[in-house]
Structure 1
Amino acid sequence: MPMLRCAAVWCVAWSVLALAGAAPARGGHADGEVLLGAVVLRVVDGDSLWVRPSGGAPLRLRVSGVDAPEICQRHGREARDALATRLQGHKVRVTLQHKDTYDRWLARVDGPDGDVGAWLVGQGHAWSMRWQNNPGPYAVQESAARKARRGLFSESRPELPRDFRRRNGPCQAGGASHTGQPG
């Protein structure tokens, strides 16, 4: 009987742990959750923003699949201003993916005209996020922006944000892309 009791306790413990692992992430949101009608409160830089989901607290987001120039990098302010002009105060659809190292949600953001990541890259405000030999989800848009010499691709050799950060470190307070509260 003690062996059976131990097995029952063990099963309950594993069940609790499994349920805890399946629980929503910090802040009450879960990977894959779709937030309809979230309002863009503030655009921090070319790929980071704050939104307020309907009836919820503000969330920090990073647009998934893109890498925009750092705010203190060449074309950084232009990228931020373009995104702010397009989305500030507007309702968007947000599909949460997962949290990054700065505790922001990586998310697909759809604005009034569709996929914001595709628009950013297509207008030359960001690169398609690369990894290993993969050109990223917006390689077609990046190729078109390069050919048309739009935005940052009007330069002969625009510097990737990761290379800029490697050389200069992150932007300092007041311009850092991953800090700041919604306005």
Structure 2
Amino acid sequence: MTSALSALAGNPLAIAVPALAVLALLVIFAKTIGLPWVGTVSHFADGDSVETKAWFHSYRVRIRGIDAPEYTQEHGKEARSTLVAMLEGRKALFIPFGADRYGRWLCWVITLRGPVSWRMVLAGAAWPASPMTWALHVPTRLLGRGLWKRGASRPIHPDVWRRHGMSQRMSVPPTHKKSTKRYKIKPRASTFAPRGTRQLHDFL
């Protein structure tokens, strides 16, 4: 045992090479799956999307376990203000679980006062999106907090709101200006085009 330790002490590369290999694996693991980090929030997009700074890098984060109203949606500004009050100027632990389709880290965000997703649901500022937050939102809804305030308009889930907004934009007919120019009707280049080609031409 002593001879082995003395051999390692006499050969620094025997320690440096494995250490560098382990460090490289940790970096690859952090970039693909993600390692937990502690950081502060530098930007609040809405009630469930933030940007954090840690390790001299910025990370876009989507808080896991909730679905808050979009910022331009009704109750969206209130949800963002609630999240700002919870995270602004405070250190938080971010535990990533992969990334979403927009390239944001899906993270559990935890402060000294508890998981942010739980607190957002208890404040009535977001819809639940996990079994735990579903259980927590029941008393919040019964007490009429935030989104579920009695006498207020019925809240619209962000997914429904996004689909409705998209369908509204798609349903608006295009406006065409009347032209005073006269155009000559040109015959088709070929009347013997394949059937599929003619159908595509008529469709376009």
- Does TM, normalized by the shorter one, top 0.5? yes
Cα RMSD for the two superposed structures: 2.3
Partner of 2:114: 114
Q: C-alpha deviations, 1:142-171, integer Å up to 9, x for none?
A: 1111011111111463111100001013xx
Partner of 2:96: 96
Runs of 4 or more above 4 Å deviation: none
Deviation of 1:111 after TM superposition, in Å, equals 1.6
Deviation of 1:23 after TM superposition, in Å, equals 3.4
Is the counterpart of residue 165 in structure 1 residue 162 in structure 2? yes
Deviation of 1:31 after TM superposition, in Å, equals 2.4
Partner of 2:50: 49
Tell me the distance in 2 between the aligned counterparts of 1:39 and 1:109: 11
- Is contact 2:86–2:116 with CA below 8 Å preserved after alignment? no
Tell me the distance in 1 between the aligned counterparts of 2:62 and 2:43: 12
- Is contact 2:40–2:90 with CA below 8 Å preserved after alignment? yes
- Among 136, 141, 146, the residue aligned to 1:141: 136
Partner of 1:33: 35
Tell me the distance in 2 between the aligned counterparts of 1:32 and 1:60: 13
AA aligned opposite 1:112: L
AA aligned opposite 1:29: K
Tell me the distance in 2 between the aligned counterparts of 1:81 and 1:29: 31
AA aligned opposite 1:105: W
SS at match of 2:57: coil
Tell me the distance in 2 between the aligned counterparts of 1:101 and 1:74: 25
**Any gaps of 5 or more consecutive residues in structure 1?**
1-19, 131-135, 170-183
Partner of 1:152: 147
AA aligned opposite 1:72: T
Deviation of 1:32 after TM superposition, in Å, equals 5.1
Tell me the distance in 2 between the aligned counterparts of 1:30 and 1:92: 21
SS at match of 1:61: strand
SS at match of 2:98: strand
Deviation of 1:127 after TM superposition, in Å, equals 0.7
Which structure shows the bigger proportion of residues in helix conformation? 2
Tell me the distance in 1 between the aligned counterparts of 2:85 and 2:128: 21
- Is contact 2:122–2:136 with CA below 8 Å preserved after alignment? yes
Q: C-alpha deviations, 1:92-132, integer Å up to 9, x for none?
A: 000011111111000000023010000011100001116xx
SS at match of 1:77: helix
Tell me the distance in 1 between the aligned counterparts of 2:83 and 2:52: 13
* Number of residue pairs matched by the alignment: 141
